[in-house]
């Protein structure tokens, strides 16, 4: 009957489903375009240092920061744009909107304040503020109410490589907005992280099927090395 559910059910884990989708050779890719930008989304201590902030931070690939540094450095060396975002709010959190209304604890999103340790980028990262773009954002997507879209347009970018966290939150939101703005979105799997593997792999599946190419970081490295400026 037309009103019966057709939703697929499965006993497989989110990781197993992702690995099946990812391994499917028939799935077409968006591919890399003519010019790449690296967009590093919120690699700040609130999310990268569980030793300091165990309730909000997470590690998926232990080498994530090293990979982010590597592709950012390679891109910078080729004259390709590198962008960093981090989250912070006013002292009274009035710029957090409805997103800041669910909880109000020291670990709550809206209590990441400018200049605080939670706001700081991870110390392992190399950020060249003389040439890299650094933006504060307040909502999930790196595109929302930031200069990112106009910055990428000026630099004639058509492909964004998205790193950071969380996979299920700001990475997904940024990838969806990238697609919506007409960019090819590339997500190197070693460069994104989440709190739980279920959220991580379920959202990687959704990204791979709909909004982005999920690739090995080596593929990004190869593309940047092959770029002729």
DSSP state of 178: H
**Active-site residue, from 36, 96, 160, 170:** 170
Backbone φ, ψ for residue 110 (5° rounding): -70, -10
First to last CA, the chain: 58
The 8-class DSSP code of residue 20 comes to H
The structure tokens 């989304």 sit at: 41
Kindly state the tokens that stand for 90. 């006013």
Q: From residue 208, give the alpha-carbon distance in Å to each of 111, 184, 189.
A: 33, 12, 11
170 is catalytic: yes
What is the C-alpha to C-alpha distance for residues 34 and 25, in angstroms, rounded to an integer?
24
Supply the residues annotated as catalytic.
Answer: 170
């Amino acid at each position: 009957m037309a009103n019966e559910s057709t939703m697929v059910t499965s006993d497989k884990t989110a990781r197993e489903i992702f690995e099946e989708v990812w391994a499917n050779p028939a799935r077409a890719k968006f591919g890399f375009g003519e010019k790449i930008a690296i967009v590093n989304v919120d690699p700040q201590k609130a999310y990268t240092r569980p030793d300091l902030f165990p309730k909000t931070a997470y590690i998926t690939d232990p080498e994530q920061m090293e990979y982010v540094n590597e592709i950012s450095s390679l891109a910078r060396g080729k004259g390709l744009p590198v962008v960093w975002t981090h989250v912070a709010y006013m002292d009274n959190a009035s710029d957090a909107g409805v997103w800041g209304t669910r909880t109000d604890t020291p670990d709550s999103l809206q209590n990441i304040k400018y200049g605080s340790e939670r706001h700081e980028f991870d110390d392992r990262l190399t950020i060249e503020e003389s040439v890299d773009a650094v933006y504060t954002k307040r909502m999930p997507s790196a595109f929302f109410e930031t200069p990112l879209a106009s910055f990428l347009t000026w630099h004639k970018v058509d492909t964004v490589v998205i790193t950071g966290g969380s996979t299920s939150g700001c990475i997904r939101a940024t990838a969806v907005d990238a697609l919506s703005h007409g960019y090819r979105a590339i997500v190197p799997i070693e460069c994104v992280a989440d709190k739980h593997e279920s959220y991580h792999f379920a959202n990687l599946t959704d990204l791979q099927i709909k909004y982005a190419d999920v690739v090995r970081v080596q593929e990004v490295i190869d593309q940047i090395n092959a770029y002729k400026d």
